[in-house]
Structure formats: structure tokens, C-alpha cells
Amino acid sequence: MAVATVALLSLTVAACTGTDSFGVKVEKAAAVASTTTTEPPDCAAMLPPEALAGQLLMVMVSNPSLAAADLRAGTVGGFGLKGAQSASIDTQVAEAVEGAPLEPFVAADEEGGTVQRLANALGRLPSQATLGAGTVEAAQEAYRRHDTGMKDLGFNMTFAPVADVGSGSGLGSRSFGTDPTKVSQFVVASVEVAQESGLVPVVKHWPGIGGGSADPHVKLTTLAPVDQLRAKDLVPFQAAFDAGAPAVMITHAAVPGLTEPGVPSSLSRAAITDELRGRQGFDGLVITDALGMGAVVKQFPQPQAAEQAIAAGADVALLSGGDVVAETHQQLTEAITENRLPRAQVLASVRRVLELKGVDGPCIGVVTRFSNLAAARQACEEAAAEDALADSDAQEDGAQEDSAGPPTTSVDCTTTTTSGTSRTTVDSGINDTGTDEETDGTTTTSVRRSTTTTLRTTTTVRRATTTTEAAEPDPNEFDVVQPDEPTG
């Protein structure tokens, strides 16, 4: 794989001229008489499968540092924050994104009211219900101050505004109201201000959960039939798209007449490709809601759900927690390599990601960084194989390890978690603290996951998670982690 990447890099350097997004100068080779002009490949077409898979993923974490290793390894293309953040979040963001081979998305749920991550750094933002009771102009001014502050802290994406009509599905004060026309006006105003401030607004929760009953954080909800959604709930989304909204978040809800029975819209090709892309004509970035929510994870493990979401037409699968990143990245890489995910569709999705990151045309610097990561990973694996062979030879020669001596040092290119256990929890609230709940049958202990990375070269090597095959999950075996503050 690494040899192929280097070969691709060599060919690209010979074919291209100019500079990429990292300012790397590329000289054009000596002119050769030819009657054919070949356009150089764009950045997406130059990236190896591992890099493509990484750009299809984001991860929700409770602290930027928990995403840092995955960002540096290129196994995710960005992260979102949940839970209250400190006043020094700007420093934490800067440290987390340093060394990423490609600029990552840095996002937070900044709706206002009960769903706000950056209040300690930016102050309180009124809820959408409160803003919706006033004027559009007043809401614009509030968003302008807040969004400019987000940009200054190092964020480039906001998971807002909420375009749902009504307060169902546990939304409460998170909606602008019950009138589609009024909601549309405030949503459009929010989208425009965010873009003026340099943020990518992600309008949510398509196709609209304001009329639903169950909260997708807990379980799958069924919305009104699609014809009714088109007449009401989809109106604000269409207004946002017409106003130039660059991104939308897909919720986990079943829609009669649209989605397959029991399949959430976030994993449904009929919903994303046929309805959103086709009927509504949206060609921007499509992001799933967090795949650790009960509506999804009680049916599908996150790696499987991520592949289904991308296959259905989503551009980015949003994971819950860093402990599933390595396995999911490996699954998507294999899906791309084996063409389970058609290359043309993958490239189209990555191009949408790169466009919002400001990458246009060839990207020699980016390819070089991913090539270095691949070479380092291969070197680590080769060193591990050599150590394993040496240990085997020593055992054959009758060598005995001194039990009283220091422990044997071995090369490890895999990621482990400090708990040493593997289980799945449900991200049951948008204000979830980001801890995993583990129980021994009598008491419950909150364990925060962390990643340990072993370096063998001067380039950081991301470990790959070792997972255990499991049968189809039993919903009764999942723990529901209650949010640390009300969702409205």
C-alpha cells in the first residue's frame, strides 16, 4: 500500500505545477511534445483509501485531546464536542489539531439554551425558542457575536441551527417554533450569519423530528408519512438549502412511505439519495447525527452503521467516542478497497468535504503527509514482525525468559483502551458527559476512555483497535447513560 502511495506521489509531482493548500511548490517536468493535454487529478483522486476513509468520519468527544491521536493519524477528518467545555478551550483545540495531515473540522453543538458547549468561553446564548419569540434582527445579532467568538476559538463548524418544526422528540426549547414559515426565516438568518462569520452551519435534524414522540438518543422514533413532512417539516430545510446552507445533519428516524421498515433515515438510501439529494436537490455536505444514539446502536454496531450511512449517500459518519474509530476506519478502508463503497461515490463525498475545508485542485503536501503516515505504520508492523520472529527463534533454541528480570519489550502498532474491556453504550443525551458506564452487576463505575499510542519512528503511528466479533447485539445488554443536564 505504501509503495503504491509513493508511486502515485511521484507521478503526480511530475504532472502538476503550482502550489497546494499547504504551500508546497511543485515543479512541472520538462515539456515533451504531445498532442494530448491531461488534467492533473484533484486532491480526492490522489488520496489513498486510508485517507479517503478518514475524511468520511468525524467523532464526538468530551475533550479535544481525546481526538488528537486520530486527527494526527488521519483516521478521522474532524471532531465535535459534547459536554460543557472550559474557558481555555481555544488552547485545547489548537493542541488537538496540530500535526493533522489535513485541516480537520472542529465543531460543537452551539444551538443556545440547554444545548451549548462553549458557555464558559463565550457566555450564554439564548435558546432558539427564546430567540424565535423576538425579531429576526435580534437573533442575527446574538448569533453574530457568538459565531464570531466560535471562530476566534478555533472552531470552523457549528452543529446548528435546529430547523425542526415543533418541540417533539425531546426538543423542547431547541426549536424556533411551530410555524414552518417563521422557523424558515430564523433558520435562514442563522445560516447566513454563521457563514459570514467563517463557520460551516450544519442544519439539523433532517427530515424534521419536531412532530415525533420518542427521542432518537434513546430509541428509534417514527415520524409522520413523507407526504406530510414535505408539506410542513421539510419546508425550513428547503428554505435553508435555497439560501445556500452548505451542510445538513440527518436524524435517526423512520419515515413511513420513505424509509425501509425499522431503518433510520440516517442509514436509508431512499431518504438521503432519493429524497434529500434527488427531490430536494441538495448537493452539499450530508452528516449523520451521532451513531452512538439508541436509535442506531441498539440495532447496528457503529462501524456497520457508518458503512451503511456512507453507502446510503451520507458524506460523513459521526461516531460517538474514540474507542470505535480504529475499527470503523478499518471497515471503511476495506469497503473502499473492495468496492463495497463505489469509488465514484466516495470521491464525490470526499470532494464535498475538501471543498468546505478550502482544498481545491491537487494537494501534494496532503498526499506526502499521508504517505509518511503509511510508511511509518508499515515500518512499525515490520518491526513487530521481526520481534515476533526473534522471540520464536529464541524459544526454539530453548532460551528461557528470566522471570525476575525486566519485562520483554515488544513493538505494538495497535490501540488499546485503559479499561481493557470492550462494550457498547448508548449516547442517550446531547448533553452526555462522554463517559462510558460499566457495571459488574452490583455497582456502576464511570470510566473515561483513553488511548495509548506506541511510537517506533519519528512519525506518530496510530494503533489499530483489536476487536472481538460479536453476534447481533441484544438491546437489553446496552446501558443508557443519562444526560448530565436537561435537553429542554
> Which DSSP string corresponds to 49-99?
HHHHHHHTEEEEESSTHHHHHHHHHTS-SEEEE-S---TTHHHHHHHHHTT
Neighbours of 344 (CB within 10 A): 8
Dihedral sign, CA of 58, 64, 66, 71? positive
Query: If we measure between CA atoms, which residue out of 230, 229, 175 comes closest to residue 204?
Result: 175
Q: Is 140 exposed, middle or buried (0-12, 13-18, 19+ CB in 10 A)?
A: middle
What pLDDT does residue 383 have?
81
What pLDDT does residue 373 have?
84
Q: Does residue 252 lie within any of the structural domains?
A: yes
Reading the block at residue 326, the C-alpha cell is 480504529
Query: If we measure between CA atoms, which residue out of 256, 131, 122, 266 comes closest to residue 187?
Result: 131
What pLDDT does residue 426 have?
60
Q: Does residue 413 lie within any of the structural domains?
A: no
Pairing of strands 444-447, 436-439: antiparallel
Task: Please answer whether residues 62 and 92 qualify as being in contact, where contact means their C-beta atoms are separated by less than 8 angstroms.
Answer: no
User: pLDDT tens digits for the chain (488 residues)?
Assistant: 444 444 444 444 344 444 444 444 444 444 444 455 667 789 999 999 999 999 999 999 999 999 999 999 999 999 999 999 999 999 999 999 999 999 999 999 999 999 999 999 999 999 999 999 999 999 999 999 999 999 999 999 999 999 999 999 999 999 999 999 999 999 999 999 999 999 999 999 999 999 999 999 999 999 999 999 999 999 999 999 999 999 999 999 999 999 999 999 999 999 999 999 999 999 999 999 999 999 999 999 999 999 999 999 999 999 999 999 999 999 999 999 999 999 999 999 999 999 999 998 888 888 888 888 878 777 877 787 777 777 766 666 655 555 444 444 444 454 433 333 333 446 655 543 333 322 333 333 333 333 332 222 233 333 333 333 334 334 333 333 334 343 33
Q: Does residue 47 lie within any of the structural domains?
A: no
**Domain of 120?**
55-359
The residue type of 344 is A
Q: Does residue 387 lie within any of the structural domains?
A: no
Task: State the total domains in the chain.
Answer: 1
What pLDDT does residue 304 have?
98
The residue type of 154 is G
Give the CATH number of the domain where residue 310 resides: 3.20.20.300
Q: Does residue 420 lie within any of the structural domains?
A: no
Q: What is the pTM of this model?
A: 0.77
Cα of first residue to Cα of last residue in the chain, in angstroms, is 49
Q: What is the DSSP code (8-state) at residue 279?
A: I
Q: Does residue 192 lie within any of the structural domains?
A: yes
118: part of which helix (H) or strand (E)? Answer: none
CA-to-CA distance for 331 and 75, rounded, in angstroms? 11
Q: Does residue 308 lie within any of the structural domains?
A: yes
DSSP-derived 3-state class of residue 128: helix
Q: Does residue 468 lie within any of the structural domains?
A: no
What pLDDT does residue 375 have?
80
Q: Is 35 exposed, middle or buried (0-12, 13-18, 19+ CB in 10 A)?
A: exposed
Q: How far is CA 223 from the centre of its chain?
A: 25
CA-to-CA distance for 485 and 268, rounded, in angstroms? 31
